Amino acid sequence: ALGVFTNISYVFQAGAMMGNAVRHYLGARFSRLKVSGDRRATLSVVAMLLVAIGLACALGILFVQGLGDVFLLWVFGPETAQSADLLLIVSIALALRLLTAVPTSLVYAYGGTVGQFWRELFFVVIVVALSQLLIPEQGLIGAGLLLLIVSALRLAADTARVLYVMARAPDRQSE
Q: What is the CB neighbour count within 10 angstroms for residue 67?
A: 15
Q: What per-residue string of b and e applies to 68-86 under the rule 16 or more CB within 10 Å gives b? A: beebbbeebeeebbebbeb
Residue 153's pLDDT is 92
Per-residue model confidence as pLDDT tens digits over 57-70: 888 778 777 776 77
pTM summary value: 0.70
Q: Is the pLDDT of residue 80 over 80?
A: no
- Mean pLDDT, the chain, whole residue set: 76
Q: How many residues are given for the chain? A: 175
Per-residue model confidence as pLDDT tens digits over 83-129: 777 777 888 888 888 888 888 777 777 766 656 777 778 888 888 88
